[in-house]
Amino acid sequence: MDENPLIRNTVFRDARAAQPDSGIPGFMITAEQIQIVDGTLKLMSETELLMADFYRVCSKLWSDNAAFWEEIAQDEVRHSQIILKMLELITARPGQYTLYYDFKPAGIEGFSGYVRKMRDRAVAGEISQLNLLALLKDMERCMIEEKFFIIVTTSNPEYRRLVDGILEDTSVHKDKIGLRLLELSQA
C-alpha cells in the first residue's frame, strides 16, 4: 500500500499552535497568499467529496449496514460545503485571519492525490474489506493529527465553530470505523 504523503510531508507540527489563542505568532495573509488559501481550501473541499465516495464504496460492500456508511458519506459531503463557507469567510474579511505558521499547501496537495488514488482503487475493488477499513480509519486520524483543516488562525467565532465541527465529526468517524474494524477483524 502506498505511503500516506501527509505523514512524510507533515503540514503542521505543533498541536498547540492549532489553537488560535495559543499565542504562537502567525503571519498576516497577503493578497498572494489568499490565492493559495483559495486553491487549497477548494482542493480540501474536493477531497471531502472523494472521502464521501469511499464511504459509498463501503455501503455497497457492507450493504447490511448501508445506513451506517451512508451517514458518514453525507457528513463528508456536508464538510465539503462547510470548507467552501470557511473560504467565503476568509475572503470577506482577510484582515481577521493569520496564515497558520506551518501551513504547507504541498502537503495537502499530496494528501489529496493519495485519497484520489486510493478512492479509485477502492471503486475498482482492488482493496480488501479489512484493508479498506484500516485505510479509512488512518485517513481520518491523519486529517486530525496532521492538522489538515488548520490553514489559518482567527478569533472569528463563526469560522472557529465551523472548523471545530469538522474536527469533531472527523474524530467520531475515526472511532466508529475503528470499532467496525475491531469487530470484523475478530469475526
* Residue 116 three-state SS: helix
DSSP for 8-23? HS-S---GGGGSTTS-
Under rule CB under 5 A, how many of the chain's residues touch Fe ion?
A: 2
Closest by CA to 42, choosing from 88, 94, 96, 107, is: 88
Give me the 148-177 binding string for Fe ion, x by CB under 5 A, dash otherwise: ----------------------x--x----
Q: At closest approach, how far in Å is the CB of 72 from Fe ion?
A: 6
Binding status of residue 47 toward Fe ion by CB under 5 A: no
Binding status of residue 4 toward Fe ion by CB under 5 A: no
DSSP for 157-185? HHHHHHHHHHHHHHHHHHHHHHHHHHHHH
Please, which residue, 119 or 173, has the CB nearer to Fe ion?
A: 173
Please, which residue, 141 or 173, has the CB nearer to Fe ion?
A: 173
Q: At closest approach, how far in Å is the CB of 170 from Fe ion?
A: 5
